[in-house]
Amino acid sequence: MATTSVQNVIETDQYEDQQYQNPAPIGPQDPIPDGVHDCELSWDRKKGWMRLIIDGTSWWFKEYVGRCQVISTNNEKGRINIRASARIDGETLRMWRDPDAKAHPRIDGVPRRKTQNRLCYRRSQRDFRVNDDGTEQNGFGNRTPDTNDTPIKERKLVYVRSYVGDLNSLWNKSDSVAHIYHLGEVTIDDDNVAHLYDPLVR
């Protein structure tokens, strides 16, 4: 497979400690191979774009839409391991679930309210977050500050060890911050793992 080419590469350290998108055009990239792949989804701290890694090759994007299986997380590197077929259209990543994949099983745990859940990596602690953003991107629908007495079910923000399940994602390039959104349910289990449920996957 040919090496992915990217134009307008920015200086290496410019985006090391922030997650605001690089406004430069990504430029042409090789097509993602057909088929279902085991992929890594992460923020490229050097280029300032989100990226998908398949077999060591990277593709970058500024918005994404679609569905995939979340298999696990790599907490040291801040990556989410997913399984999906994918395509890059300009600067948009589109993903589709494996048609043979089964729905993620329902588990006992603490359910979060049905909302738009923002998923992100907390590098300082090598863990992940689930943040209640309300029903609209950047809506921050639950504005009540969390306290130590706030039940997990009602907290705007919870820290979790990992993610697994069925991701239903939407991220618009007008949002200049690197975000991963899950439009669906989340349940936190006793091991502090967030289980994702897609309302269209049964």
Q: Where are the alpha helices (DSSP H) in 112-178?
A: none
Amino acid residing at 58:
S
What three-state secondary structure class fits 171?
A: strand
Mean pLDDT of the chain, nearest integer: 84
| Residue 130 pLDDT grade (very low, low, confident, very high; cuts 50, 70, 90) | very high
Q: How confident is the model at residue 18 (pLDDT cuts 50, 70, 90)?
A: low
- pLDDT confidence of 39, banded at 50, 70, 90? very high
**pLDDT 10s digits, 40-94:** 999 998 999 999 999 999 999 999 999 999 999 999 999 999 999 999 999 999 9
Return phi, psi of residue 189, to 5°: -90, 180
pTM for this predicted structure: 0.83
> What's the pLDDT score for residue 132?
85
- pLDDT the model gives residue 123: 86
C-alpha span between 50 and 181 (Å, rounded): 13
Each domain of the chain, given as residue ranges in start order, spans: 37-96, 110-197
Average pLDDT of span 27-46: 95
Looking at residue 174, its pLDDT comes to 73
